[in-house]
Chains A and B, each alone.
Chain A
Amino acid sequence: GQNIDQPTEMTATEGAIVQINCTYQTSGFNGLFWYQQHAGEAPTFLSYNVLDGLEEKGRFSSFLSRSKGYSYLLLKELQMKDSASYLCAVRDGDYKLSFGAGTTVTVRA
């Protein structure tokens, strides 16, 4: 089966940096995704990694190490609107995305 682990909750201060780790053990690997989901809303796509290394997109960066089965999402210059759940997902094969349970990030003033 698929096993994707990420912390349940994290709290940080406005303006700070938070790193959300994700480790995975899956039967196949065809890319890793990060999604953001605000309470009561749809998940929205943040980033995609298929090769090792860092992908940067504004305040958000995502890192992948395939040999270690490890990724992280880095959120910089935290804003109150970044309070949300962050979902790590691995694509196994052609279509199937397996998700972690999500990390709830709370940003405090």
Chain B
Amino acid sequence: ETGVTQTPRHLVMGMTNKKSLKCEQHLGHNAMYWYKQSAKKPLELMFVYNFKEQTENNSVPSRFSPECPNSSHLFLHLHTLQPEDSALYLCASSQDGASGSNEQFFGPGTRLTVL
């Protein structure tokens, strides 16, 4: 039990669909992150929110749209995705940005398949 939950755990969608991934953290953290993990590739940071403000957008295509309504919830809205977007999408949270170890706690991920 990591304290970070993600739904759904698995998602299959067509290229014309619109769907959303949800992340919730129960750790009282102030920073939240979206990562993409593709097979045999490094984890790629997509977005960072700190105190609900977006502080990092790592050149992510506009078909991925994040939303952070409060420090506990993070969404990733998906539309008109491509098959190469199929991957494991991981959410993480940390206390804040850079003080101390400030390790990131990861959720179990959403396995996304785009047909």
Contact = CB atoms under 8 A, between A and B. Distances in A.
A105 interface: no
B43 A87 contact: yes
Interface in B25-51: 31, 33, 40-45, 48, 50
Interface stretch (B60-68, B77-85, B100-108): B100-108
Given A96-B48, A101-B40, A91 B109 contact: no
A97 B108 contact: no
A95 B31 contact: yes
B45 A97 contact: yes
B38 to A, nearest CB: 10
Interface string A1-15: 000100000000000
A95 B56 contact: yes
Contacts of B45: 96-98
Nearest to B97: A94
A41 B4 CA distance: 12
19 contacts: A4-B42, A30-B98, A31-B101, A33-B103, A35-B106, A43-B90, A44-B2, A45-B103, A45-B104, A89-B43, A95-B31, A95-B50, A95-B56, A95-B97, A95-B98, A97-B104, A100-B42, A101-B40, A102-B42
Interface of A: 4, 30-31, 33, 35, 41-45, 48, 50, 87, 89, 91, 93-102
5 smallest beta-carbon distances between A and B, as pairs: A42-B106, A48-B101, A94-B97, A99-B43, A45-B103
Given A42-B90, A42-B107, A91-B98, 4 more contacts: A42-B109, A43-B106, A44-B2, A98-B42
Interface of B: 2, 4, 31, 33, 40-45, 48, 50, 55-56, 58, 90, 97-98, 101, 103-109
